[in-house]
């Protein structure tokens, strides 16, 4: 089904004169859109074709049949602008008659592009003027193309110099359509490969069919490149670039043989041009008001006070209730290219610690396994770029849990990197046992984009399209999914001749909704790639469930693959070291039959049988194999219950790996377990005595081989396979193994982990670390050295301090009492240790911080309920955010904030309005932008003004309606509560403020900016509408 967009979402107007030009334009669309139904009163006589090209939403219109020339072109463009008010610039694309000369070797099939030269702006109307006694005198002048289009022309020309032109790719797409094939044009002695020429185009209302007249007019104009009949009608009312494909030489040999091919070359150049122009964010592009005018210096002078002329036109339009079609030179000034340092900062912000931990941790395939994939029919078909039209570059490998999909994917990845030197190979391996980013699509997009931009540095220019403040170009930049998808798409569009092969493993280890959205995105990319001749291929792998349909693609099922079965045979033959006796051979055969294709089961059982053989129990191997459960989950249960050795350590190890806030390092897990089972052993860390090998053996013994450490710069512990977690949680394996925990294993686990943390906190670390009474400034080298020393001597300390309250909160959520814990919690000691680990001074707490403030800031809603003191959430303390209410809002602690807000509402007299606020909040919850985390409370500003600066709409609206605060208070720069509400997009609060005092709508700060101006400047559409409606 075709997408249907609003008219204001179209930003490029494409005008053509002939049906063949319209056909070429439509052939360039990456995606076609559904037409927009018109109003009965609509007098627009144009017929539009809508779609997208290189990320731009484009509307195309053709002149009426039989009507050519400047006047019909002007009429079409004017109606288009009136119907599509979001158009940023236009393109006039079609055919023209070339003017060969000594200076310009123009040939049939070449392209001519209007570019300012000498006294003309790119187009000259050669037959417009007046007759005088001395002859014909040309009058008037035509505008130059918009700056953004001329900048794009420069980029395209530079790309050609570097061999990065995409024109031939776009033309190759047209070659599939018989009408546009070069072979239909016939011979031409001047014909060669298409060349693009830049200069002056002559436009007039008559056809030139005479070489002598052509050369005479060209000489009078200082030399033109081609003649045509429409452009002069557009340049002063429809800011555009004129692109003409040469179909004849404007002489007596004029014919139509070359028209289709020439129209195609012009359209292909237009597409190349659009591909280098960043598409705009439609949410910012849309106009907010209802009146319409075309921006010119004259109209600004007439409509606005002279004191305002130096301000940005789109902002002025908002303030004076005008909708302005902003000239492109104004729009583009706000977007500047990033410098190398800014780009590097953004690149580093894409990187995360465990970015390739899962892939590195997967053991390399056994020497005799996986090679069958390289000869598999489906795999070879996927790699065949000539068949991209059939499968859109997608291969999906599926198999049951434990069949060896990840090992196979790593083999394919390593092989691709070795053999596909002409392709860029990317990868991402989901990891459900890792940190949140390792099992999310945001991690996928960050990783793929980083790899692509590092492999092809020229693509880093896509980062320039980010609309960010200079302060955000850092390694701490917070990414969200949509900008990442946009950047990745832009980078893929710009691949040119480069080919990309991508391997994405274990989709089932990510949330299903995220995976479905990701597959939809890649399907979109696949369609774009096929339609634009881009070589982009993706190999996915996952279990069979959840089933996600992909419209185009190949599928490879591991079960039943002869090569996969042979892999298991090869592995058993070489790794099962039980000799060559007849019994040994029987064991090998029975093992393979019992495996049912589950490689993980084979690996575990081979280990068990080897251990049995090493003990000299060869005669019992068959019986032992028969005793081992054939089901993978039952095998896990058998491993965990085989003996009772170190049962307490086993349970605690399982609890930590299952329920830690984030995966622990091997050293952290070592200390976390010992802090409970052997508290006296928890002393300062001595790496020489407790080596990495000792730690590894300790974890191996504690987990009975079901936990491993990742292979990465910062190793983390995890289960050896996701099927272990599935067994323990999804299959309720925990209650089968340890029924004494009943149905509340999770609650009891968090309670025990909390106790481990508190034991660590209770240890005297101040003496060995020599912590001073007054901690050094967080950003100082002394503080950094102290943090490093703390981590070295007490690896588990930082986790314990930062997550003791988390585990208490989780335990409380599972009905484990926490009242006594909160009463006895060592707040001063905790504050000192927590401040020790803070890297930013502003994040430290005072020693007198309240428990409620901490819980609100950390989003510990369950503990707040236990504390029963939410009613004091507006009590101001000497903390960064002032009060618990603001702390919860600033840190996006939604559950804690909800409790605080409800407590405030209970105290309000106007309960009916509070209900309305609650209803409004629920309706706008998704639209609420994040409150400012960089907010710092200031007693000098007052409570309500600080709330406005914080920028949480629901909180601010509630406080305004309470009537307890002065709503007309100002800060030192005369910025009012309404000013801050407008800046921060607080729609409800703005409405409530205007209910209480509409006069403040016209208040101005010391820079003479009104709330309306500020709202428009920030692109806060909803607030603008409220201010216009109420003001």
Instruction: Please write the tens of the pLDDT for every residue from 128-179.
Output: 766 566 666 665 557 788 888 998 999 999 888 888 888 988 888 888 888 8
pLDDT above 50 for 324: no
Band (629; pLDDT cuts 50, 70, 90): confident
Rounded to whole angstroms, the Cα distance separating 387 from 394 reads 11
Please list, in sequence order, all residues whose beta carbon lies within 8 angstroms of the beta carbon of residue 123, skipping any fewer than 6 positions away: 114, 142, 200, 201, 202, 203, 231, 232, 235, 242
Instruction: Give the number of other CB atoms < 10 A from CB of residue 647.
Output: 12
User: What three-state secondary structure class fits 590?
Assistant: helix
Instruction: Please write the tens of the pLDDT for every residue from 713-757.
Output: 889 999 988 888 888 887 767 777 878 777 788 999 999 999 999
Instruction: Please write the tens of the pLDDT for every residue from 507-557.
Output: 999 999 999 999 999 999 999 899 888 999 999 999 887 788 888 899 999
Q: What is the mean pLDDT of residues 109-134?
A: 80
- Do 340-562 and 853-1030 agree at the fold level? no
The residue that leads in pLDDT, 382 or 904, is 382
Note the pLDDT of residue 1007.
86
Structure tokens that stand for 119 in this block? 């006294």
> Lowest-pLDDT range, 186-195, 297-306, 676-685, 881-890?
297-306
pLDDT above 50 for 881: yes
Rounded to whole angstroms, the Cα distance separating 504 from 494 reads 22
Rg from Cα positions in the chain: 35
Band (266; pLDDT cuts 50, 70, 90): very high
Instruction: Please write the tens of the pLDDT for every residue from 433-444.
Output: 888 999 999 999
Whole-angstrom CA distances from 628 to 590, 632, 650 are 12, 10, 21
Note the pLDDT of residue 968.
85
Please list, in sequence order, all residues whose beta carbon lies within 8 angstroms of the beta carbon of residue 426, skipping any fewer than 6 positions away: 447, 448, 451, 452, 455, 500, 501, 502, 503
Band (476; pLDDT cuts 50, 70, 90): low
Q: Does domain 340-562 have CATH number 3.40.50.300?
A: yes
Question: Which of the four CATH numbers 1.10.760.10, 1.10.390.10, 3.40.50.720, 3.40.50.1580 does domain 7-277 have?
Answer: 3.40.50.1580
Instruction: Please write the tens of the pLDDT for every residue from 5-22.
Output: 888 889 999 999 999 999
Most confident of the following: 323-332, 638-647, 818-827: 818-827
pLDDT above 90 for 423: yes
Q: Residue 96 CA to chain centroid, in angstroms?
A: 43
pLDDT above 60 for 319: no
Task: Give the closest residue to 808 by CA, choosing from 745, 737, 852, 866.
Answer: 866
pLDDT above 50 for 187: yes
Structure tokens that stand for 365 in this block? 């395939």
The residue that leads in pLDDT, 692 or 804, is 804
Note the pLDDT of residue 917.
44
> Lowest-pLDDT range, 331-335, 400-404, 914-918?
331-335
Three-state SS letters, 484-504: HHHHHHHHHHCCCCCEEEEEE
Rounded to whole angstroms, the Cα distance separating 1001 from 321 reads 14
- Helix %, strand %, coil % of the chain (to 5): 50, 10, 35
Band (475; pLDDT cuts 50, 70, 90): low
Instruction: Give the H or E element holding residue 151.
Output: helix 147-161
CATH number corresponding to 853-1030: 1.25.40.20
pLDDT cut 90: percent of the chain above it: 44
Measured over the CA atoms of residue 625, residue 631, residue 632 and residue 633, the dihedral's sign is negative
All structural domains of the chain with their residue ranges: 7-277, 286-334, 340-562, 576-625, 629-844, 853-1030
Task: Give bridge partners of residue 243 from the DSSP assignment.
Answer: 93, 113
Question: b vs e for 194-209, b when ≥16 Cβ sit within 10 Å of the residue's Cβ?
Answer: bbbbbbbbbbbbeebb
User: 214 and 242 in contact (C-beta within 8 Å)?
Assistant: no
Per the confidence metrics, is the pTM higher than 0.85? no
């Amino acid at each position: 089904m075709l997408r249907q967009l609003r008219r204001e979402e179209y930003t490029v107007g494409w005008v053509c004169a002939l049906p063949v030009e319209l056909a070429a334009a439509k052939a360039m669309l990456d995606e076609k859109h559904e037409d927009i139904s018109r109003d009965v009163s609509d007098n627009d006589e144009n017929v539009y074709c809508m779609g997208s090209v290189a990320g731009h939403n484009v509307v195309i219109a053709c002149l009426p049949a039989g009507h050519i020339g400047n006047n019909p072109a002007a009429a079409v463009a004017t109606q288009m602008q009136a119907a599509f008010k979001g158009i940023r610039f236009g393109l006039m694309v079609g055919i023209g008659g070339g003017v060969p000369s000594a200076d310009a070797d123009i040939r049939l099939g070449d392209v001519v592009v209007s570019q300012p030269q000498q006294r003309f702006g790119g187009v000259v109307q050669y037959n417009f003027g007046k007759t005088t006694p001395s002859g014909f005198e040309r009058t008037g002048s035509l505008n130059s193309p918009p700056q953004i289009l001329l900048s794009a022309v420069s980029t395209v020309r530079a790309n050609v110099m570097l061999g990065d032109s995409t024109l031939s790719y776009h033309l190759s797409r047209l070659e599939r359509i018989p009408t546009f094939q070069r072979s239909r044009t016939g011979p031409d002695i001047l014909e060669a490969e298409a060349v693009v020429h830049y200069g002056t185009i002559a436009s007039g209302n008559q056809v030139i069919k005479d070489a002598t007249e052509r050369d005479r007019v060209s000489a009078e104009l200082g030399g033109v490149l081609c003649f045509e009949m429409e452009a002069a009608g557009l340049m002063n009312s429809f800011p555009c670039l004129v692109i003409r494909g040469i179909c004849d030489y404007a002489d007596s040999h004029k014919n139509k043989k070359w028209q289709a091919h020439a129209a195609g070359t012009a359209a292909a150049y237009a597409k190349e041009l659009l591909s280098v122009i960043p598409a705009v964010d439609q949410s910012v592009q849309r106009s907010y008001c209802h009146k319409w005018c075309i921006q010119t210096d004259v109209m600004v002078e007439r409509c606005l006070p002279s004191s305002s002329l130096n301000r940005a036109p789109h902002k002025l339009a908002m303030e004076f209730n005008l909708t302005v079609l902003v000239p492109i030179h104004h729009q583009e000034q706000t977007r500047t290219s990033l410098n190398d340092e800014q780009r590097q900062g953004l690149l580093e912000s894409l990187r995360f610690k465990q970015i390739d931990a899962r892939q590195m941790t997967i053991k390399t395939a056994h020497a005799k396994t996986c090679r069958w994939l390289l000869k598999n029919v489906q795999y070879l078909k996927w790699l065949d770029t000539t068949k991209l039209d059939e499968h859109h570059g997608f291969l999906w490998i599926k198999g049951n849990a434990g069949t060896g999909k990840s090992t196979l994917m790593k083999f394919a990845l390593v092989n691709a990197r070795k053999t596909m030197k002409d392709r860029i190979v990317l990868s991402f391996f989901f990891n459900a046992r890792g940190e949140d980013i390792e099992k999310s699509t945001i991690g996928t997009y960050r990783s793929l984009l980083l790899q692509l931009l590092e492999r092809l540095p020229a693509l880093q220019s896509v980062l320039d399209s980010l609309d960010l403040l200079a302060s955000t170009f850092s390694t701490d930049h917070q990414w969200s999914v949509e900008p990442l998808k946009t950047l990745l798409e832009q980078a893929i569009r710009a691949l040119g001749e480069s080919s990309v092969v991508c391997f994405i493993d274990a989709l089932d280890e990510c949330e299903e909704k995220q995976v479905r959205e990701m597959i939809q995105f890649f399907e979109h990319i696949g369609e774009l790639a096929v339609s634009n001749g881009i070589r982009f291929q993706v190999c996915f792998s996952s279990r069979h469930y959840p089933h996600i349909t992909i419209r185009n693609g190949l599928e490879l099922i591991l079960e039943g693959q002869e090569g996969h079965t042979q892999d298991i045979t090869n592995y058993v033959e070489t790794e099962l070291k039980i000799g060559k006796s007849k019994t040994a051979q029987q064991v090998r055969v029975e093992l393979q039959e019992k495996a049912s294709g589950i490689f993980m089961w084979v690996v575990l059982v081979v280990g068990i049988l080897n251990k049995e053989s090493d003990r000299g129990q060869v005669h019992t191997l068959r019986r032992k194999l028969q005793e081992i459960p054939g089901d993978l989950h039952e095998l896990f249960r058998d491993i965990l219950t085989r003996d009772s050795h170190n049962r307490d350590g086993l349970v605690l190890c399982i609890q930590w790996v299952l329920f830690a806030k984030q995966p622990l390092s091997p050293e952290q897990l070592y200390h976390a377990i010992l802090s409970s089972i052997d508290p006296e052993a928890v002393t300062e860390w001595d790496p020489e005595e407790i080596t990495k090998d000792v730690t590894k053996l300790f974890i191996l013994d504690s987990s009975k081989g079901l936990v491993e450490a990742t292979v990465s710069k910062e190793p983390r512990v995890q289960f050896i396979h996701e099927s272990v977690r599935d067994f323990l949680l999804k299959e309720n394996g925990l209650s089968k193994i340890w029924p004494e925990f009943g149905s509340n294993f999770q609650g009891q686990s968090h309670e025990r982990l909390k106790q481990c943390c508190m034991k660590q906190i209770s240890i005297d670390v101040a003496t060995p670390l020599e912590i001073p009474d007054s901690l050094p400034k967080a950003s100082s080298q002394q503080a950094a050295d102290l943090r490093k020393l703390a981590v070295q001597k007490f690896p588990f300390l930082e986790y314990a301090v930062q997550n003791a309250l988390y585990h208490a909160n989780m335990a409380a959520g599972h009905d484990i009492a926490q009242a006594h814990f909160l009463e006895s919690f060592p707040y001063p000691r905790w504050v000192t240790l927590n401040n020790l680990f803070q890297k930013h001074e502003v994040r430290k707490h005072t020693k007198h911080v309240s428990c409620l403030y901490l819980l609100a800031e950390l989003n510990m809603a369950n503990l707040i309920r236990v504390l029963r003191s939410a009613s004091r959430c507006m009590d101001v303390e000497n903390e960064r955010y002032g009060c618990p209410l603001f702390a919860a809002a600033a840190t996006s602690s939604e559950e804690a904030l909800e409790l605080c807000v409800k407590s405030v509402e209970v105290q309000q007299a106007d309960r009916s309005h509070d209900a309305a606020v609650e209803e409004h909040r629920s309706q706008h919850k998704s639209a609420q932008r994040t409150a400012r985390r960089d907010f710092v409370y200031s007693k000098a500003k007052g409570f309500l003004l600080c709330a406005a600066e914080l920028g949480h709409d629901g909180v601010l609206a509630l406080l305004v309606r309470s009537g307890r605060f002065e709503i007309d208070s100002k800060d030192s720069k005369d910025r009012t509560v309404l000013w801050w509400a407008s800046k921060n997009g607080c729609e409800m609060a703005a409405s409530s403020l205007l209910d209480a005092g509409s006069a403040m709508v016209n208040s101005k700060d010391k820079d003479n900016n009104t709330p309306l101006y500020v709202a428009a400047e920030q692109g806060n559409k909803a607030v603008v509408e409220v201010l216009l409606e109420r003001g």
